[in-house]
Structure 1
Amino acid sequence: MALSKGDDFPIHQTAEPVAYAGTDRNFYDRYFFNGYAPDGGGFFAIAFGVYPHLDVVDAHFNVIRDGVQHCVHASREAGMERMDLSCGPITIEIVEPLNVLKVSVGDHEGISAELTFTGRHFPIEEPRFTHRTGPRVLLDCTRMTQNGRWTGWIEVDGERQELATGTMGTRDRSWGVRPIGAPDAQPIPGQAMPSFFWQWTPINFPSGSLFFHVNNDTLGNTWNTRAAWALEGASADVLSEGAGSMRTRLSSGTRWPSGGSTVSLALPGGPEEITFEPLGRFQMKGLGYTHPDWRHGMYHGALKVEREDIVLDGLGPLALDNIHVQIPVAVTSDGEEGIGVFEQLIIGPFAPLGLSEFIDGAG
């Protein structure tokens, strides 16, 4: 039987029950959130993924305190039910679609949270991401992105902290096809070295929200990019879209962004140039990205929940599971100060930054 709770809602896209999501085994449906205090401290993040063809759900909650990234990882069998947004202790509640969502983390080995996100504007729909490696589709997905404000609390090992007044962050929802679960063991002819270049910079200014992202090939040619500006309370019909270009600096011996990176923008109503200065570092492996054990969509049995504590100082910057980062950043533009994140993932050669190997560091 394939019927599920979703079939009682008018959301069907094909003549099949909602449990069936096309034919590509790499189809996924995903939530992501991050948040940070006005000074960039107290960084936290949440991820929740549904993988219909693998019949798996997984979720992650992370918070940074005193230089340690505390993580809860969870995975369960989906049972072909896509409307159950719970996985172990982690639950997402859609209070008001496209505006208010609640994240709950029941206590697991001393970590718990109750958090509510309220959007600052209508979500941005980013251009469809379609990317092939030779004949094989690597990405084919849509993503919406939204900045917002957080309220609530987080507890770690008996120390409960209310979120600071003015805590902001970003959420996104993406769905489609990307590599998930066990990797394909069969190589692609003619593709000697995998490569991927990604930068994403959602920023909260007092006057509005700025978004810029770019995907480039190994020579620096852009295959997907967008800049967008949303004033406080902006509805869908007043969002502003344009273009931008990034001048990136890397910390020596790493593939992590350093201070002084800038974005130049052609964006009606938005800033013309912004400059980033790092306030910390968040390892995306805490949410399953490039994680050696908690890769998205991997099967861990009926239910598995695990705590992990990552000491941020001393991590090897060129280990494969450490190169994908979000850097909390202070941002300046035309005298206005903002705060946000600079996410970066560079795998393989990238000529504009002098990277020539699968993973080598900046000179």
Structure 2
Amino acid sequence: MTLSPLDDHPVHQAAQVMRHVTTGDRNFYDRYYFNCHAASDELMLIVGLGQYPNLGVTDAFACVRTQDLHRVVRASRELGADRMDTRIGPFGVKVVEGLKRLRVVLEPNEHGLSFDLHWEGTIPATLEPRHFLRRQERVVFDSMRMAQTGRWTGHITLGEREIEVTPDRWTGTRDRSWGVRPVGEPEPPGIQATGPGTFYWLYAPMQFDDHAVLCIVQEDERGRRVLEEAVRVWSDGREEEYLGRPEYRPVYAPGTRDVVEAVLTFAPPGGKPFDVRCTPLLPVRLMVGTGYGLEQDWRHGMYQGPGPVVQGVTYRLPDDAPKMWGMVDAVGRFEYDGLVGHGLFEYWALGPHPSFTG
């Protein structure tokens, strides 16, 4: 039972020190996620930083995608007693003003990517529905997440190129999630290996001039809803507007599960239904190099030693494109009722689903 600086704040939720969580589940995590782009197909930067208290690990990654490059810098170390210390080698996240302003840093390093970026939210941070999924009797997901759209100020250095980031052009989304989800070293699959393994998913937080629309759709192999969200959040803090059950109609590139366009339909209770046309502008294979699950030697929460251990991974496109697979985080263009917005278009269609027979 080791104290940390966080124990001096009146934030305790259990008869534990703050470094200990109330569950012994190895898969408990606590993570930041950010993306940054210029509402175009020029560049997308994705950053994540997580803590895994029951695995004793903290790690971070930054992934940048341009038309011809997919580059990742990643770092890991033992978590230690102080969960307020987010530094992992060259990485760090600082909360400047809770739920509003943050600073995200990757200091100069040998891997050709660094940045110093300041985030400011354009809508109030919004709590999403609890994500709970039990598979073959085991709880696989039990987590909470808040989402926010915002703008960036600072700079990104990619190789020899210095990119000025100004809030008039550079936008993005962020989330904070915590709870239980698969992390760390592979576990014996047991009965979990016999299930369908479906993950049919859409996550689309989109920013318009004076509001955002936040949308989630997750379904199982029979098309039954596991999780959904559809709200309009106003930048001036007005109450969220519930938009009813969202419907998702993607169009895939022939012979693939890569989405080339999609339509989201919303039907606000007592209001006029409307369609949002979605176009992915710059797809990023989120699971390549970042720790989300493809590399057997580097996954979120996997112990890499006392650390900090820092690595770089670079793929040249299109030559390395066939090696890429999994969840896609794309810069998205969104249009409805004469309005044009941009945000995150995240999707994955894994396994059987009624809407996909290819």
Measured against the shorter chain, the TM-score band is over 0.9
Q: TM-score, normalised by structure 1?
A: 0.91
CA contact 1:257–1:327 (8 Å) conserved in 2: no
Provide the C-alpha distance between the structure 2 equivalents of 1:189 and 1:162, rounded to a whole number of angstroms: 47
Superposition deviation, residue 115 in structure 1: 0.3
Superposition deviation, residue 305 in structure 1: 0.3
Aligned partner of 2:302 in structure 1 is 298
Change beyond 3 A, Cα 1:311–1:189: closer
Aligned partner of 1:358 in structure 2 is none
Provide the C-alpha distance between the structure 1 equivalents of 2:66 and 2:250, rounded to a whole number of angstroms: 28
Q: 1:330 aligns with which of 333, 336, 341?
A: 333
SS at match of 1:71: strand
- Matched residue count: 350
Aligned partner of 1:80 in structure 2 is 81
Aligned partner of 1:20 in structure 2 is 20
CA contact 1:40–1:339 (8 Å) conserved in 2: no
Q: TM-score, normalised by structure 2?
A: 0.92
Provide the C-alpha distance between the structure 2 equivalents of 1:185 and 1:18, rounded to a whole number of angstroms: 30
Q: Does 1:37 align with 2:42?
A: no
SS at match of 2:355: helix
CA contact 1:72–1:108 (8 Å) conserved in 2: no
- List gaps (5 residues or longer) in structure 1: 355-362
Provide the C-alpha distance between the structure 2 equivalents of 1:316 and 1:230, rounded to a whole number of angstroms: 37
Change beyond 3 A, Cα 1:253–1:294: farther
RMSD: 1.9
Q: 1:313 aligns with which of 312, 315, 318?
A: 318
Change beyond 3 A, Cα 1:267–1:153: farther
Provide the C-alpha distance between the structure 1 equivalents of 2:193 and 2:109, rounded to a whole number of angstroms: 46
Aligned partner of 2:49 in structure 1 is 48
CA contact 2:214–2:232 (8 Å) conserved in 1: yes
Provide the C-alpha distance between the structure 2 equivalents of 1:32 and 1:49, rounded to a whole number of angstroms: 9
Provide the C-alpha distance between the structure 2 equivalents of 1:255 and 1:123, rounded to a whole number of angstroms: 32
Superposition deviation, residue 163 in structure 1: 1.5
Q: Does 1:112 align with 2:114?
A: yes
Change beyond 3 A, Cα 1:66–1:336: same
Aligned partner of 2:285 in structure 1 is 283
Provide the C-alpha distance between the structure 2 equivalents of 1:12 and 1:40, rounded to a whole number of angstroms: 44
Superposition deviation, residue 313 in structure 1: 2.1
CA contact 2:117–2:155 (8 Å) conserved in 1: yes
Deviations 1:279-303 (A, max 9, x none): 1111112432223132111111112
Structure 2: which amino acid aligns with 1:242? L
Structure 1: which amino acid aligns with 2:5? K
Share of identical aligned residues, percent? 35
Superposition deviation, residue 157 in structure 1: 1.7
Aligned partner of 1:163 in structure 2 is 165
Superposition deviation, residue 315 in structure 1: 4.6
SS at match of 2:80: coil
Provide the C-alpha distance between the structure 1 equivalents of 2:12 and 2:2, rounded to a whole number of angstroms: 13
CA contact 1:32–1:48 (8 Å) conserved in 2: yes
Change beyond 3 A, Cα 1:44–1:81: same
CA contact 1:112–1:155 (8 Å) conserved in 2: yes
CA contact 1:315–1:322 (8 Å) conserved in 2: no
Aligned partner of 2:252 in structure 1 is 250
Superposition deviation, residue 186 in structure 1: 3.8
Deviations 1:184-221 (A, max 9, x none): 21412783432222110111111311110111010111
- List gaps (5 residues or longer) in structure 2: none
Provide the C-alpha distance between the structure 2 equivalents of 1:176 and 1:169, rounded to a whole number of angstroms: 24
Change beyond 3 A, Cα 1:190–1:75: closer
